[in-house]
Amino acid sequence: MDQISTRAAYWNGFRAGAPFLLVIVPFGMVFGVIATEAGFNIAEVMGFSVLVIAGAAQLAAVQLMTENAPTLVILATALAVNLRMAMYSAAMAPHLGSAPFWTRGFMAYFLVDQSYGVSAIEFENRPDMSIAAKTAFFFGSITPVCFPWYLATWAGAVLGASFPSGLGLDFAVPITFLAIIAPMLRTAAHVAAAITSVVLALGLAFLPYNLGLLLAAGCAMAVGAWVEHLMARRRAA
């Protein structure tokens, strides 16, 4: 694909990711405020966001730290929350796996819910895209997501104390994931996994250290895989 088409793919990705600014900014600010209130200094807050770059895992880890949870529980919870990234990587491999090694390294770092969501839909709808165009689209999609996330985290950490207590920035957390997940519930396996995770996460909320979340995530993946297996057998019959 020529340079102009690659540039167009980048801006298509940018436009696809831009609407997430509406929730990324308050989401990042929520984490900055919560982490600062938990005793983190600015460098620690920013290190957390830059190195981990996963809002849900960051919030879960900070919550457990404030509860003095065992280190292994904190690590296991953060890994469980981010386990979906392994599935994202597997889904992106057929599209981006032939990119140069260093490019795949950057894409692995910037593989977040938003970049995966818009890229998966774009690549599925346009299977004829070249690897260069797909790479450009992916990096376009993360530009209005990841870099504003860093700035929003910093703003939340620095300005958190001045925000009115009733501002309610935490609305961005569930809306972010609803905006990503809803368009992707296309198969029975997806729906079954989503329902299982919601029911078990709520039903097991009484367990300490977010252990209910770990169980819900594992069971949801198992149910989704089981339903997918049943559907494959039915198609083959």
Q: Read off the pLDDT of residues 147-175 as tens digits, 9 standing for 90 and up.
A: 999 999 999 888 865 555 555 545 545 55
> For 111-131, how does the pLDDT look when each residue is reduced to its tens digit (9 = 90+)?
998 899 899 989 988 988 999
Three-class DSSP category at 82: coil
- Helix 21-37 / helix 172-181 crossing angle, nearest 10 deg: 140
Spatial separation of the C-alpha atoms in residues 35 and 57, rounded to whole Å? 13
* Distance in angstroms (rounded) separating the CA atoms of residues 12 and 182: 21
Q: Which two tokens stand for residue 184?
A: 């992707």
Q: Whole-angstrom Cα distance, residue 149 to residue 28?
A: 5
Residues 6+ apart with CB under 8 A from 116: 88, 91, 92
pLDDT at 160: 66
Q: What is the dihedral of CA 82, 88, 149, 130, to 10 degrees?
A: 160
CA pair distance 164, 161, nearest whole angstrom = 8
SS3 83: coil
Name the pTM for this structure: 0.73
Q: How confident is the model at residue 206 (pLDDT cuts 50, 70, 90)?
A: confident
pLDDT tens digits, one per residue of 48-75? 899 888 888 888 888 888 888 888 888 8
- The DSSP code sequence of 166-218 is T--GGGHHHHHHHHHHGGG--SHHHHHHHHHHHHHHHHTTTSGGGHHHHHHHH
| pLDDT tens, position by position, 87-116 | 788 889 999 999 999 999 999 999 998 899
Looking at residues 215-229, what average pLDDT do you find? 84
Res 2: pLDDT: 44
CA-CA distance, 198 to 207, in Å (whole number)?
A: 15
pLDDT of residue 191 exceeding 80: yes
